[in-house]
Amino acid sequence: MDVKRQQTIKRAAEAVPGGTPIEKAPDPDLGHDLIPAERYTSKEFMQLEWDRVWTKTWLLGGRSDDIPEAGDYICTNIGKESVLLVRQKDGSVSGFYNVCLHRGNRLIPEEGLGSVAEEDGVFRCSYHHWAYSSKGKLLHIPDRETFPQGAPPCGRVKPVKADEWGSFVWFSLDSDIEPLLDYLGVIPQHLNPYHMERMAWTRDVTVEWDCNWKASVDAFSETYHVQGIHPQLKWYLDDVNVQYDCYDKHNRYLIPFAAVSPRVQLPSIMPPLIAGMMEAAGMDPAEYEGPISGIREALQKFKRENGPEQGKDYSELNDEQLTDDYHYTIFPNVSLNVHSDDVMMFRQRPHPTDPNKMFYDIWMFELVPEGEKWPERVRHQIFRHGDKTIGQVLDQDAFNLPHVQAGMRSEAFEGLWLGDQEIRLRHFHRTLSDYIYGNNGPGEGDI
């Protein structure tokens, strides 16, 4: 690799009891074939994804704490569909399609949060006031006797499976799908120690991007691009000593933060982003007397010692999790950077009709120290690519992706030529193939 020096990154041999597993998972044999570019550009493949992925997997719907009371709901869209995820009186969440059985109107016109608590849990279509229960059961048709054929015999809007894990609400359009926890596999064991339920919204943004949703998943699945489009991060993280782990459907990588990339010489002064990380933890960079290469471990030690009095319980986290980025992809479309004090996650949704577009949801949460007031929820913002900044690093990704998509459509580009650092992309495509073509993979003529 193109490095200037060798760097040893200390990782604990084993996790704290009940903590996130640290050990490297064996690399699966995923071959070295091209990933066909058509997967990113073709409408046929997009339709296959709809039929065999989006309607057959558990999907992230929203945050549990956004719907605390009975009658509170999340309205969220996937492809051409929109669903309602509603808190019930018994505390569970029920889901149903956001559509009125009468003339097809959306019961709730736009994505977002709301409540029908004041309507006694009744969803009333705005068009002709057909009324539905909080589980989607048809309750009332105005002028019922003018429908000689009677009410629709199903008696309800088609249900959607809904469940909760990790302070998030999940749903599936597949009524026969395995239970959520089975689907998530290793993920709860890995992420429960972070206690995401102790974190509050700091950012809720949706941006329409001019690329296929998978181009976005790819962009967050390797650190090989750091030296390309995020040069400033070389003085913040070690993009070379990265551990890649592929599990059943999901995968992760572990990136040392508060470290300088071996691609550059160690500077003699404190890199500003690392100083910022120390300051955020309550550590004074000016007081630090050790070498730049010792900051990561010093910061871990400081957080371990000072966490409790800052109201931050790190007891279930391993030392390296106090500094490093543990990045997971929950198949198909959730990418999360989890840190001891915050989570930065992306939900990458396909456009309803155009494979060259997607919706990029940025969800960020920050640990609320014990005893501190739970902050007011941030407002959801929606804009188009390029209208506003989403922060330097994400802007760099966002600037790049439309060009990637444009190039993928070129006659001169056959497919993705991936290296070892991009094993998560191969693993993601393997899982995608499993869903689309079954476990024997694509056949003759398949994309």
Partner 1 sequence: MDLGLKGKKAIVVGGARGIGYAIAELFAREGCDVAITARNDDSVKDAVANLKKYETKVIGKGCDVTDGDEFKAWMEWADEELDGVDILVPVTSASGGLGSLKYWEKNFKVDVMGPVRAVDAVIEGMIERKHGSIVLIASTSALEDMGGPQGYNALKASLITYGKQLGLAHGKDGIRVNVVSPGPVEFEGGNWEMLKGAMEKFYQSLIRKQPEGRFGKPEEIARAVGFLASPAASWCNGSHLVVDGGFTKNTHF
- Strand, helix or coil for residue 93: strand
Q: Which residue among 30, 70, 177, 273 contacts partner 1 (CB under 8 A)?
A: 273
User: Is residue 268 a contact point for partner 1 (CB under 8 A)?
Assistant: yes
Least separation, in Å, of the C-beta of 268 and partner 1? Answer: 7
Q: Which residue among 271, 307, 332, 355 contacts partner 1 (CB under 8 A)?
A: 271
Q: How far apart are CA 231 and CA 360, in angstroms?
A: 23
Least separation, in Å, of the C-beta of 36 and partner 1? Answer: 35
Binding segment (CB under 8 A) for partner 1, from list 61-69, 260-268, 322-330, 363-371: 260-268
Number of residues that bind partner 1 (CB under 8 A): 21
Binding segment (CB under 8 A) for partner 1, from list 70-78, 157-165, 197-205, 229-237: 229-237
Instruction: Of 83, 69, 196, 211, give the one whose Cα is nearest residue 136.
Output: 83
Q: How far apart are CA 74 and CA 418, in angstroms?
A: 38
Least separation, in Å, of the C-beta of 441 and partner 1? Answer: 41
Least separation, in Å, of the C-beta of 110 and partner 1? Answer: 38
Q: In terms of CB distance, is 266 or 298 closer to partner 1? A: 266
Burial letters 46-71, b for 16+ CB under 10 A, else e: bebbbebbbbbbbbbbbbbbbbeebb
Query: Which parts of 382-401 interact with partner 1 (CB under 8 A)?
Result: none
Query: How far from chain centre, in Å, is Cα 218?
Result: 13
In the structure encoding, which two tokens stand for residue 179, read together?
């239970």
Least separation, in Å, of the C-beta of 404 and partner 1? Answer: 22
Q: How far apart are CA 169 and CA 162, in angstroms?
A: 7
Q: Which residue among 151, 264, 368, 393 contacts partner 1 (CB under 8 A)?
A: 264
User: Is residue 234 a contact point for partner 1 (CB under 8 A)?
Assistant: yes
User: Is residue 236 a contact point for partner 1 (CB under 8 A)?
Assistant: yes
**Which helix (H) or strand (E) covers residue 181, if one does?**
helix 180-184
Q: Which residue among 119, 284, 372, 446 contacts partner 1 (CB under 8 A)?
A: 284
User: Is residue 294 a contact point for partner 1 (CB under 8 A)?
Assistant: no
Q: In terms of CB distance, is 173 or 240 closer to partner 1? A: 240
Instruction: Of 84, 163, 144, give the one whose Cα is nearest residue 116.
Output: 84
User: Is residue 280 a contact point for partner 1 (CB under 8 A)?
Assistant: no
Q: Which residue among 146, 265, 389, 440 contacts partner 1 (CB under 8 A)?
A: 265
- Backbone phi and psi for residue 288, each to the nearest 5 degrees, phi listed first: -75, 125
Residue 3, number of CB atoms within 10 A of its CB: 13
User: Is residue 231 a contact point for partner 1 (CB under 8 A)?
Assistant: yes
Least separation, in Å, of the C-beta of 255 and partner 1? Answer: 17
User: Is residue 272 a contact point for partner 1 (CB under 8 A)?
Assistant: yes
Binding segment (CB under 8 A) for partner 1, from list 207-215, 234-242, 351-359, 381-389: 234-242
Binding segment (CB under 8 A) for partner 1, from list 102-110, 158-166, 262-270, 370-378: 262-270
Q: How far apart are CA 188 and CA 20, in angstroms?
A: 9
Q: Residue 332, class by beta-carbon neighbours within 10 Å (0-12 exposed, 13-18 middle, 19+ buried)?
A: buried
Those residues whose C-beta lies under 8 Å from the C-beta of residue 87, and which sit 6 or more positions away, are 67, 68, 69, 70, 71, 72, 73, 93, 134
Q: Which residue among 92, 126, 189, 232 contacts partner 1 (CB under 8 A)?
A: 232
Q: In terms of CB distance, is 109 or 272 closer to partner 1? A: 272
- Backbone phi and psi for residue 116, each to the nearest 5 degrees, phi listed first: -115, 20
Q: How far apart are CA 204 and CA 117, in angstroms?
A: 24
User: Is residue 235 a contact point for partner 1 (CB under 8 A)?
Assistant: yes
User: Is residue 253 a contact point for partner 1 (CB under 8 A)?
Assistant: no
User: Is residue 92 a contact point for partner 1 (CB under 8 A)?
Assistant: no
Least separation, in Å, of the C-beta of 50 and partner 1? Answer: 41
Least separation, in Å, of the C-beta of 40 and partner 1? Answer: 30
User: Is residue 429 a contact point for partner 1 (CB under 8 A)?
Assistant: no
Burial letters 201-238, b for 16+ CB under 10 A, else e: beebbbbebbbbbbbbbbbbbbbbbbbeebeebbbbbb
**Which helix (H) or strand (E) covers residue 382, if one does?**
strand 381-384
Contact 57, 334 (CB under 8 A): no
Report the chain's C-alpha Rg in angstroms. Answer: 24
User: Is residue 286 a contact point for partner 1 (CB under 8 A)?
Assistant: yes
Least separation, in Å, of the C-beta of 166 and partner 1? Answer: 33
User: Is residue 25 a contact point for partner 1 (CB under 8 A)?
Assistant: no
Amino acid type, 73: Y
Q: Which residue among 267, 311, 386, 407 contacts partner 1 (CB under 8 A)?
A: 267
Binding segment (CB under 8 A) for partner 1, from list 281-289, 333-341, 358-366, 424-432: 281-289
Residue 288, number of CB atoms within 10 A of its CB: 18
Interface contacts to partner 1, rule CB under 8 A: 4, 231-232, 234-236, 264-273, 284-287, 291
